[in-house]
Amino acid sequence: MKSKSSYWVKTLQNGLIGGGISLLLGLVGMALAFGKTYIISGVITMGQIFILSPFLFEAYLSVRRAPSKEPRSLFLVGGLSGLVGGALLAAFVLIGEVVNFRAVLVNASPNLFALLTFNLSLVPGILVLLGVSLVTGLIAAGVFLLPERIRAALSQAVMVVVLLGLFRDLIVTVMLRWGVVQYAFLWMFAASGLKIIGALVIFVLISGLVYWSKGRDRKAIALKRSPRQQRVTRWSTLGVLGLLVLLLPVILGSYFSEILDNVGIYILMGLGLNIVVGFAGLLDLGYVAFYAIGAYTLGILTTSEAVGLLHISFWLATPVALVVAVAFGVILGLPILKMRGDYLAIVTLGFGEIIRIVVLSDWLKPILGGSEGIQLIGKPVIGPLVLANQQQLYYLILIGIILAGFISIRLKDSHLGRSWMALREDEDVAEAMGINKVVTKLLAFAMGALFSGLGGALFATKIGSVYPQSFSFIVSINILSLIIIGGMGSIPGVFVGGLALVGLPLLLSQFADFRYLIYGAVLVIMMLMKPEGLAPEARRRLELHEDAVGPGPGEKPQSVIKNPER
Amino acid sequence: MLRTWRQRITITDIFVWAIGLSIAGVVIWGSISTLLQGQYPGKVWLDLSIKGLALGGVYALIAMGYTMVYGILKMINFAHSEVFMSGPFTAVFVAQALSKSGFLNRQPVISLAIISLVSMGVPTLIAILLERICYRPLRNAPRLVPLITAIGASFFLLYVFRGLYGSGSFGYPAITSLEQSWAFAGIQIYKTQVAVIVGAVVMMLVLFGMVQWTKIGKAMRAVSEDKEAAELMGINVDRIIVFTFGVGGASAGAAGVLYTLLFPVVNFYMGFFPGIKAFTAAVLGGIGNVPGAFLGAIILGLLESVGPNLFLTGLGVPSPSQLKDAIAFIVLVLILIFRPTGILGERISRDKA
């Protein structure tokens, strides 16, 4: 269909896009933040990986779309694409010699130029840069030519090596707690990243393992087992997992327990928002409001400061906080029952902001403490035991998550859950089928508010103080991103999303600055490439890939879906 | 259809109306008691109104981007607030460079033109890229999908600009010839305020004229009416959509220039509140409606600047102007509850809300 010349234009375009992406990563500061983080000690840093991986990706795209599949032209295409990207960076370096970019772009520092020229002087640096980008493009073509099984093995091995190098500090800290076992692992780590020999061993090990496991047909093996065996395997895996979850704070120590607590609170709220957005399809951007309400209610009820209303125990205050949060969920839900889609999103955003602004103002300062917030919030007490530190609070949060997860799972296939999904698919049809729109929608808001309020209450007692700054719009986006990453409506997805989006930035301090940049990019990329999420719910996958499956007998005809406005 | 009004009314309607009436009651009660207290003399109100008009003009230009895109794609371009931010946040470097070389005060008109060019060019480019990368592939996707994409794009742009230019605030240099003010009937009218109001009105007239009387404006209206039919009539729908995003970006950039005349400090998060308020203005006037956006923006600007002092002082709320952002949100919520079609928006059916 397309002529060959237009294909070459496309290749050049891909190369330029790759160069543009890596330039952006450099100028935004991501490459520099990781400039000293070695993946393999003395060989390659994460910053360099950030600069080079766009070339690899774009070259791979060019190669995959290439009209002729003979190796020579594929290598030509890949190399060209990489080279063009490298040329863009080289041009940037050359112009940077004359123009002072730094007056405008804060990250165009000498360090960035040093990173781009591999710490060499100008001319050899640029030559090396061009050479490395050419090689990267050639590698992309080479990877494309490999058989599927080897490609999977190699790419997964590379990924494991990069992850190990990236998380070197954390892994070492955890292992130092393990006594003798540490010596089995510590040899492969250098002061930053992996040792060359360690990286090689891991690479060979993982690629071999993946290659071997790809060769086996897992389903066939699983089917061969008797039902009893299958049940035993399932329960024992669950048991081991459960034990692991229970022992995590003990194994990992207090620093990681703090991170686990944060992840846990987000997962708890994610489970709540998953009901509102995932099950019922109501895009709530003011979800942080209920979090704030839960936290503040607990705060003013348990604080030993003068601002509070009452001074009661955590166990008495939490139910009150939940009731208040649910009540607000219903009250704020009532006026927006008739709204759909974007208007609903923006009104809920408005609610969230109104609550934050009102809390911040001087008007309610006598009760809510204004911008100084509320301090000295009570800790939960069981008999003589005060749940004060992060390891102990972990169990409290875990109980909350188990409760929320159990409720979500049970609700999903209940009458109510199905009503929510019906409303999500088509409000008018659902109403015509006899679903009470008012009650069903309000229940969704109330359930969401319940979990969010619980999250807020736990957050308040964990931190020991609440400030209005903790409840900005960004928290709502945070929770929304984590359920979208995992897949809307999917309960395991919430856990996947929580660990990936909340856990990773907390684990890697260099990521923290770019957290929201990555969230934004992740939201866009997920919606463009994989709108059903990483751990998708079956029904949602069907719905989003209807074109591939074709309309079934009971589904809407295609034309209606194509034009949702009509 | 056949039911009487008594049967049609539900508990939620009663609840919603009760909220609306109580807010109206609070507003009226607050205004009356504020006026009775007589804390502020008349010229304060005049002064605030002029500020509100200038603010409204800025909102109107930002609102154009929302309203035109909504008119055509029936989606809220959530990232528009960042499109708006990108202009003045980039142009500040140009302005500072011009000021350093002394050119700014020697040739203020040419300098302002250069600044405007940069401030309008960058958002135009970003809006077009946004459409190309984020929205075009999703034009037929379920409705939540482009909305979430837009939210993601908004955050991405926000933090890209933070990464590029840093998280600090930058000041626009003052233009000496715009610093004076006129004393008029006992109040001070600043030249910048006049410049902002005049600039906004001129821009709005240009935009309105373009949509109403040019060929491409006609094509835009046709596409917003019915995409397929427009395509059959030989209109290149893709190009019209790109053009709409471009015009929206350019007018947001123009709004950025005017905004910096009023508040000469820019930073990466400057777009959020003006963006939300402009959206409110667009909804208030009737989304998809160009004169409506202007009307809504002026009303919102006035409400925001006069409102907190007028409604809340009498109720004994301390430092009411802290709550001015909440007023915009409350207006937004109320308009969406009671009249989602907006003041002038009869054309768009109620189904969209």
Q: What H or E segment, with its residue span, contains residue B187? A: strand B187-190
- H or E element, residue B114: helix B108-130
pLDDT of residue B124: 92
Highest mean predicted confidence (pLDDT) among A59-63, A121-125, A544-548, B273-277: B273-277
CA atoms of A504 and A189, how far apart (whole Å) = 20
Give the whole-angstrom CA distance, residue A552 versus residue A541: 14
Asked if residue A132 has pLDDT above 60, the reply is: yes
Interchain contact A544–B (C-beta under 8 A): yes
Interface test with B, best of A282, A363, A479, A519 (most B CBs within 10 A): A363
Binned at pLDDT 50, 70 and 90, residue A98 comes out as: confident
Token pair in block for residue B275: 């963006």
* Rounded (10°) angle between helices A314-333 and A288-302: 150
A561 against A344, higher pLDDT:
A344
Is the pLDDT at A310 greater than 80? The verdict is no
SS (H, E, C) A294-338: HHHHHHHHHCCCCCCCCCCCHHHHHHHHHHHHHHHHHHHHHHHCC
**Looking at this predicted complex, what is its ipTM?**
0.83
Q: Which residue, B333, B350, B329, B343, is CA-closest to B275?
A: B329
**What is the C-alpha separation between A99 and A92, in angstroms, rounded?**
10
Task: Work out the burial of residue A93: count CB atoms within 10 Å of its CB; fewer than 13 is exposed, 13-18 middle, 19 or more buried.
Answer: middle
Across A101-112, average pLDDT? 79
3-state secondary structure of A347: helix
Which chain B residues in 314-353 lie under 8 Å from chain A, judged by CB atoms? 317-319, 322-323, 325-326, 329-330, 332-333, 336-337, 340, 352-353
**DSSP SS3 for B319:** coil
Does A389 score more than 80 pLDDT? Answer: no
Closest CA to B192 of B177, B207, B205: B177
Q: What share of chain B is helix, strand, coil (3-state, %, to 5)?
A: 75, 5, 20
Question: How many pairs of residues across A and B have Cβ atoms under 8 Å apart?
Answer: 174
List, in sequence order, every residue forming a beta bridge with A44; answer none if it has no partner: A40
CB contact, 8 Å: B166 with chain A? yes
**Could you tell me the pLDDT band of residue B125, with boundaries at 50, 70 and 90?**
very high
Q: How far apart are CA B119 and CA A139, in angstroms?
A: 42
3-state SS, residue A38: strand
Does A343 contact B353 at a Cβ distance shorter than 8 Å?
A: yes
Query: For B67-118, what is each residue's pLDDT tens digit?
Result: 888 888 888 888 899 999 988 888 888 888 888 887 777 777 888 888 888 8
Report CB contact under 8 Å: B153, A343: no
Report pLDDT for A565: 36
Q: Which residues have CB under 8 Å from A90's CB, separation 6+?
A: A126, A129, A130
Chain B contacts in chain A segment 404-463 (CB below 8 A): 438
| A chain contacts of residue B26, beta-carbon cutoff 8 Å | none
Is A522 part of the contact surface with chain B (CB cutoff 8 Å)?
yes
Asked if the Cβ–Cβ distance from B160 to A28 is below 8 Å, we say: yes
Interhelix angle for A46-64 vs A71-98, to 10°? 140
A357 and B326 within 8 Å at the Cβ level: the answer is yes
Buried b (16+ CB within 10 A) or exposed e, A97-122: eeeebeebbbbbeeebbebbbeeeee
pLDDT digits (tens, 9 = 90+) for A220-272: 676 677 778 878 888 888 888 888 888 777 777 777 888 888 888 899 999 99
B/e letters for B132-146, b = 16+ CB within 10 Å, e = fewer, are eebbeebeebbbbbb
Determine what percent of chain B is predicted with pLDDT higher than 90: 5
**What is each CA distance from A543 to A536, A551, A559, B182, in whole angstroms?**
11, 10, 14, 63
**Cα A446 to Cα A290: distance, rounded to the nearest angstrom:** 10
B window 24-83, beta carbon within 8 A of A: 74-76
Q: Report how far apart, in Å, the C-alpha atoms of B87 and of each of B154, B251, B259, B266 are.
A: 15, 10, 11, 10
Lowest-pLDDT choice from A170-184, B48-62, B225-239, B249-263: A170-184
pLDDT surpasses 70 at A560: no
Lowest mean pLDDT, pick from A53-62, A95-104, A540-549, B328-337: A540-549
How far, in Å, are A210, A279, A427 from residue A440 at the CA level? 47, 11, 11
Per CB-CB distance under 8 Å, the chain B contacts of A514 are 159, 163
Q: DSSP letter at B2?
A: -
Residue A281 is nearest to which of B144, B157, B322, comparing CB atoms?
Answer: B144
Q: How far is CA A562 from CA A125, A544, B141, in A?
A: 52, 12, 7
Is residue A526 predicted with pLDDT exceeding 80? Answer: yes
pLDDT over 70 percentage in chain B: 93
Q: Is the pLDDT of residue A516 over 80?
A: yes
Q: Dihedral of CA A30/A33/A35/A37: which sign?
A: negative
Q: Which of A358, A521, A523 sits opposite B151 (nearest CB)?
A: A523
Segment A158-174 shows an average pLDDT of 83
Lookup: tokens for A67: 């009209």
Look up the pTM and report it.
Answer: 0.84
Instruction: Yes or no: say if A242 and A304 are a contact pair by the CB < 8 Å rule.
Output: no
- To the nearest whole Å, the CA of A330 is away from the closest chain B CA by 11
- One-letter amino acid of A462: K
Q: By CA distance, what is B145's nearest residue in A?
A: A527
Helices (H), A390-434: 390-412, 415-425, 427-432
**A551 pLDDT exceeds 60?**
no
How many whole angstroms separate alpha carbon A441 and alpha carbon A14? 46
Which residue of chain A is at minimal alpha-carbon distance from B158? A517
pLDDT of residue A549: 43
The pLDDT tens digits for A336-369 are: 887 777 788 888 888 888 888 888 877 777 777 7
Q: What is the mean pLDDT of chain B?
A: 82
A113 touches chain B (CB under 8 A): no
Report the SS3 class of residue A292: helix
In the predicted structure, residue B353 carries a pLDDT above the cut 60:
no
Given a cut of 70, whether residue A559 has pLDDT beyond it is: no
Query: Following CA atoms A81, A83, A87, A90 in sequence, which dihedral angle do they give, to the nearest 10 degrees?
Result: 130
Report which of A355, A293, A364 is spatially closest to residue B326, judged by C-alpha positions. A355
Whether A480 has a pLDDT exceeding 80, the answer reads yes
